[in-house]
């Protein structure tokens, strides 16, 4: 698998070449730059995984360059890269200033070989974890194996383990809430790319005008926005809701898969594609192809290996294990009170149809844990929780609304109807959780950064909704 790409920036040839040789001996991919101007150009051509940056240089000092990078690179979408400062004339004040501006660490010259290698290793590992956390912040649980001992689960796990060892593209298909993103993370975790970044992007959360930028990035003047194809460099990119991708972005992605390279929006140089792509859809992409909603060539490029995620009703014998699993994880990670399922309540849930699949089960467990401090979860509680979900989410598989709101939605063009629904949905969720954007991101299954953008586009003020929620209580 591709090694981390490190850029060494120093105006002293002996130092930069020595550091390059040392790091190359450790199997890193290393490039060098003799000044800030060259360093900026090399970062534009290829995003580094780490930069070793000297402070005193003839054209621009390292502190100013660090500040410029932090201002022109969007750090909220994992576009940033760690920077380790180096100086032979260091001071406490300089080290503090570099740290304040976002440098990972500060190394004094002459460099200690042991400290250099240890600092580089720690910086890369810390940044890798930070990238994964940003990409998966809305997900509560890690890349665990499927819970349960059913034959269905065993077959699914065997298939994922087998596919993980190959680098082919994978398409996950399955009903909403069936856990496609969970199994995608598991596939990445079991693959040779497991130590590289794992990036998730849900197409349904994107506005079409920003879709291409999110995938391919952009550059204007000296401002660079790294898209997810670069963020996932050497690792895995998981694209959820691929069926919602607009046709323009589909065409760009198809060209990328066919040629193995892409251009940032506004950029000139081509960038090699260097990540495994996993996609998922709950739609029938074959039907979309028939109705010209999805490019047939792109479908065949993505559908190299297909994995069907079974609905929960097809392995209902796993439900007790799943209920206990999510209960234990909520207790461990969210410090909820521990509660046991009564036999009657457990039996009710085991025979429930679970139209929302794993996502519905997880949300139901969370609801039951916060509903009461009683030690046992009774049958009555379970029935009320199921009734709550049915009233709010399912009425013969249709959205139930009052005052003919659904009929009203049908009178609008698709884009407007979707925006009206999204606004109502997100406002209702915000009221339910007291205005917490983080909790809404978790419940809705979207990345928090994209949720903030969506709320801004729809004109949703979380603070006002939080105040409204307090008044309602």
Which CATH number fits the domain that encloses residue 332?
A: 1.10.8.60
* Model pLDDT, residue 404: 47
CATH of residue 211's domain is: 3.40.50.300
Shared domain for 155 and 294, answered yes or no, is yes
On whether both 256 and 210 belong to a single domain, the answer is yes
Against a cut of 0.85, is the pTM above it?
A: no
- The H or E element spanning position 225 is strand 223-225
Are 282 and 214 part of one and the same domain?
Answer: yes
Residue 472: per-residue pLDDT: 47
Q: Does 465 fall in a domain?
A: yes
Q: Per-residue pLDDT tens for 228-254?
A: 999 898 899 999 999 999 999 999 999
Q: 161 and 282 in one domain?
A: yes
> Is there a domain that residue 15 lies in?
yes
> Do 346 and 200 belong to one domain?
no
Q: Is pLDDT larger for residue 326 or for residue 134?
A: 326
**Residue 106 domain-assigned (yes or no):** yes
Q: Decide if 57 is inside a domain.
A: yes
| CATH assignment of the domain containing 102 | 3.40.50.2300
**Which comes out higher in pLDDT, residue 75 or 178?**
178
Could you tell me if 155 and 291 lie in one domain? Answer: yes
Residue 414 is predicted with a pLDDT of 65
CATH number of the domain encompassing residue 419:
1.10.10.60
Q: Is 158 found in the same domain as 295?
A: yes
Within a domain: 143: no
DSSP string, 74-133: -GGGT----EEEEESS--HHHHHHHHHTT-SEEEESSPPHHHHHHHHHHHHHHHHHHHHH
Q: Are residues 158 and 130 part of one domain?
A: no
Residue 334 lies in a domain: yes
The domain boundary, picked from 285, 310, 335, lies at 310
Please tell me the predicted confidence (pLDDT) of residue 308: 96
258 with 388, same domain?
no
Residues 168 and 256 in one domain: yes
How far apart CA 378 and CA 207 sit, in angstroms, is: 43
Tell whether 142 is covered by a domain.
Answer: no
The domain total for the chain is 4
- Mean pLDDT value across the chain: 84
Residue 400 lies in a domain: no
**Beta-carbon contacts of residue 319 (< 8 Å; ≥ 6 apart):** 312, 349, 350, 352, 354, 361
Residues 6+ apart with CB under 8 A from 77: 134, 225, 226, 231, 449
pLDDT at residue number 317: 93
Residues recorded for the chain: 473
Q: What is the DSSP string of 253-309?
A: HHHHHHHSEE--BT--S-EE--SEEEEEESS-HHHHHHTTSS-HHHHHHH-SEEEEP
User: By percentage, how much of the chain surpasses pLDDT 70?
Assistant: 86
80-111 burial, b for 16+ CB within 10 Å, e for fewer? bbbbbbbbeebeeebbebbeebebbbbbeeeb
pLDDT in tens, 144-163: 667 889 999 999 999 999 99
Which of 310, 340, 375 lies at the terminal end of a domain, its last residue?
310
Domain boundary among 256, 290, 310: 310
Does pLDDT of 278 surpass 90? Answer: yes
The parent domain of residue 326 ranges over 313-393
Clarify whether residues 194 and 245 are in a common domain. Answer: yes
pLDDT in tens, 377-391: 999 999 988 876 565
156 and 294 inside one domain: yes
Q: Region 130-139: what's the mean pLDDT?
A: 52
More confident residue, 317 or 469: 317
């Amino acid at each position: 698998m591709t090694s981390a790409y490190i850029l060494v920036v120093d105006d002293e040839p002996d130092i930069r070449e020595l550091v390059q040789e040392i790091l190359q001996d450790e199997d890193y991919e290393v490039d060098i730059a003799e000044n800030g101007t060259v360093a900026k150009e090399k970062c534009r051509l290829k995003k580094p995984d780490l930069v070793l940056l000297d402070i005193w240089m003839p054209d621009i000092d390292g502190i100013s360059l660090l500040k410029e990078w932090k201002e022109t690179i969007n750090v909220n979408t994992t576009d940033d890269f760690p920077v380790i400062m180096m100086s032979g004339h260091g001071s406490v004040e300089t080290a503090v200033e570099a740290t304040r501006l976002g440098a990972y660490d500060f190394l004094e010259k002459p460099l200690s070989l042991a400290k250099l290698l240890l600092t580089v290793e720690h910086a890369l590992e810390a940044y890798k974890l930070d990238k994964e956390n940003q990409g998966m912040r809305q997900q509560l649980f890690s890349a665990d194996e499927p819970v349960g001992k059913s034959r269905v689960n065993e077959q699914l796990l065997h298939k994922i383990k087998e596919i993980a060892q190959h680098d082919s593209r994978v398409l996950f298909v399955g009903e909403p809430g069936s856990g496609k993103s969970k199994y995608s993370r598991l596939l990445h975790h079991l693959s040779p790319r497991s130590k590289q970044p794992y990036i998730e992007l849900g197409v349904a959360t994107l506005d079409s005008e920003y879709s291409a930028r999110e995938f391919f990035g952009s550059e204007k003047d000296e401002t660079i926005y790294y898209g997810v194809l670069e963020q996932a460099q050497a690792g895995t990119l998981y694209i959820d809701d691929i069926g919602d991708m607009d046709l323009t972005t589909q065409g760009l992605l198809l060209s990328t898969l066919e040629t193995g390279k892409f251009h940032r929006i506004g950029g000139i140089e081509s960038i090699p594609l260097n990540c495994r792509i996993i996609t998922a859809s709950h739609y029938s992409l074959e039907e979309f192809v028939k109705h010209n909603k999805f490019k047939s060539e792109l479908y065949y490029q993505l559908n190299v290996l297909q994995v069907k995620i079974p609905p929960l009703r097809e392995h209902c014998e796993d439900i007790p294990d799943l209920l206990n699993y999510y209960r234990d994880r909520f207790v461990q990670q969210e410090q909820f009170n521990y509660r046991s399922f009564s036999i009657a309540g457990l039996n009710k849930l085991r025979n429930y149809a679970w139209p929302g699949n794993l996502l519905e089960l997880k949300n139901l467990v969370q609801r039951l844990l916060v509903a009461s401090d009683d030690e046992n979860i009774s049958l009555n509680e379970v029935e009320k929780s199921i009734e709550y979900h049915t009233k709010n989410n399912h009425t013969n598989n249709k959205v139930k609304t009052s005052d003919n709101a659904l009929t009203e939605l049908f009178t609008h063009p698709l884009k407007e109807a979707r925006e009206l629904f999204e606004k109502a949905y997100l406002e209702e969720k915000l009221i339910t959780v007291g205005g917490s954007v983080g909790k809404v991101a978790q419940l809705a299954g979207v990345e928090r950064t994209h949720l903030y953008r969506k709320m801004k586009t729809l004109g949703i003020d979380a603070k006002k909704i939080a105040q409204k929620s307090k008044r309602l209580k």
